Structure 1
Amino acid sequence: MYLLPLVETLGGWIYVTLFILIFMETGLVVFAFLPGESLIIFTSTLAALTGSTLDIRILVPVFFFAALIGDTVNYEIGRNLHRLPFFKRILPAEKLEKAHAYFEKHGGKTVMFGRFVPLIRTFIPLISGTAHMNYKKFCLYNLLGVLLWVALGASLGYFFGQFDFVKQNFSLIFIMLALIMAIPGIVITLYRMLRGNVSPS
């Protein structure tokens, strides 16, 4: 298990590191590429395998508050984008009104279920703030989305950590999991690149 020595070296700082990584992925769009699910599942599995090295009772609240605070910061950034001088060029008033109408009608399920889509989830709080989605509504559905996201990821990782096969092939399984989790982001990036290279006929 190649990654265990690193976790043991960090000691209690591993929780701080994980908090920062999840916060960066959810709160700052420039770090949307960070593997949130992989981190949650991987460390939860490691908690089941080692017990003394990582504590699932600490991991879960660390992930929860990191994602919750990150999304809230991201929302606030979006809500204040209109202060930038070039904002109206990027998002004219008529498009902003359409975005606001969409998030008032479908914002709840978008915020809640969009959290399960890698890469996209980092942009949803930002767009919610930009579209001036009702703050209380955003907080409610974001709370539910984060709660489900962390609970499912941590439970899944901790559950698989109970199997001998996982214990014996942990590093390989983690690499495969990271690659699988990266597929949606890679597909979306390639799609945008290809669409940008195709000139209208």
Structure 2
Amino acid sequence: MAEWVQNLMDSMGYLGILLLMILENIFPPIPSELIMPSAGFAASRGDLNVALVIVMGTVGSVLGTLPLYYVGRAFGEERLVKWADKHGKWLTLSGKDIRKADDWFDRHGTKAVLFGRMVPGIRSLLSLPAGMSEMPMPKFLLYSAIGSGLWASLLTGAGYLLGENYDRVEQYIGPIGQIVLVVAVIAAVVWFVRRRREQRQQPG
């Protein structure tokens, strides 16, 4: 993966960074923790300008959020509520749960998008609830850009400083994304089990 990323950037330069960061948001197996440090390493060699690397990485990351945002927007809260009321029983999920989650995102969505863009494992997924809750596009783009810019700057700077050892960034940060996903799965399982118990305890 590292060699493919490096070869693409060597051949396409800034456009390669843009395309890779768009794809990273749609296909998470392509990690930003490898793309941006690699670009930072190229900047340290004098092949690329570090400021333009960060700009292109940020723009690519923001553009990459749009497909899932529009999927969430097209699906929408009301459709999800109707689906949950009709088919969600086996998941212990109801339309009321969906509305509660949507209300939470309405209150805290800006912080979730801003800080979530810097958390491996959930960076891309946050676009779905943002779209489903119909977060206004300007607000979504603004907070995505700020979070993505900070993340791109951090990774680019790490690659710039580490030089040929830029791949260590992915080695250290990559497992964090896996831990986040595991924690999310465990939390979902705990919630599921509790809801099942509550339903069984409810009279008739």
Bin for the TM-score computed over the shorter chain: 0.7 to 0.9
Stretches of structure 2 that go unaligned for 5 or more consecutive residues are 198-204
Q: Indicate which of 30, 36, 53 corresponds to 1:59.
A: 53
TM-score normalised by the chain length of structure 1: 0.72
Gaps of 5+ in 1: 161-165
* Alpha-carbon displacement from aligned partner over 1:114-150 (angstroms, at most 9, x marks no partner): 1111011111111111222333332222222122222
CA distance in 2, matches of 1:150, 1:186: 20
Offset at residue 11 of structure 1 (A): 4.1
Match of 2:129 in 1: 127
Count of aligned pairs between the two proteins: 182
Structure 2 residue 55 is matched with structure 1 residue 40: no
Question: How far apart, CA to CA, are the structure 2 residues paired with 1:140 and 1:182?
Answer: 26
Percent identity, aligned pairs only?
A: 23
User: Matched residues in 1 for 2:9 and 2:33: separation?
Assistant: 21
Change beyond 3 A, Cα 1:137–1:11 = closer
RMSD: 3.4
What CA distance in whole angstroms lies between the structure 2 residues aligned with 1:75 and 1:194?
A: 24
Once the two structures are TM-superposed, the CA of residue 96 in structure 1 deviates from its matched residue by: 2.7
2: CA distance between counterparts of 1:54 and 1:152? 17
Deviation at 1:190, TM superposition (A): 4.3
- 1:1-201 correspondence runs (5 A): 7=7, 11-26=10-25, 28=26, 31-48=27-44, 50-51=45-46, 53-82=47-76, 88-89=83-84, 92-158=94-160, 160=161, 166-167=162-163, 170=164, 173-191=165-183, 192=185
Q: Tell me the CA shift for residue 44 of structure 1.
A: 0.8
Measured in 1, the distance between the counterparts of 2:188 and 2:108 equals 27
